[in-house]
């Protein structure tokens, strides 16, 4: 992962952490349930965007390098990893 992608992901995740802390405060203050749910959904969307950014970087770097490599085992390994990511995303 390049430095810009890493920095962007860290920044977004710190922002998400702040939002999660805000949700905790909302629950502690007994805020309206629908408002809490909306904030949870916003956090889920933000996490999805971070995941997409990291996956895009992985595809453009690690996967591309492995596919161009002469080692068929390396190619199969990275392709298997990508398939596993999609299998897990289908279960959510």
Q: What is the pLDDT of residues 23-44, one digit of tens each?
A: 999 999 999 999 999 999 999 9
Domain ranges of the chain: 3-91
What is the spatial distance between Cα 67 and Cα 88, in angstroms, rounded to a whole number? 22
Query: What is 3-91's CATH number?
Result: 1.20.58.1000
Which of the residue ranges 9-13, 14-18, 67-71 would you say has the lowest mean pLDDT?
67-71
Decide if pLDDT at 92 tops 60: no
**Which residue intervals of 1-92 are DSSP H helices?**
3-28, 33-58, 64-68, 72-91
Give mean pLDDT, residues 50-72. 92
pTM, rounded to two decimals: 0.82
Of the pLDDT bands very low, low, confident and very high (cuts 50, 70, 90), residue 86 is confident
């Amino acid at each position: 992962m390049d430095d810009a992608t890493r920095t962007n992901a860290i920044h977004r995740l710190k922002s998400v952490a702040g939002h999660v802390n805000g949700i905790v405060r909302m629950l502690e203050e007994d805020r309206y349930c629908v408002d809490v749910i909306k904030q949870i959904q916003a956090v889920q969307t933000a996490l999805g965007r971070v995941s997409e950014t990291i996956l895009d970087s992985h595809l453009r770097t690690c996967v591309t390098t492995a596919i161009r490599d002469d080692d068929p085992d390396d190619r199969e390994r990275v392709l298997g990893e990508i398939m596993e990511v999609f299998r897990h995303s289908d279960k959510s």
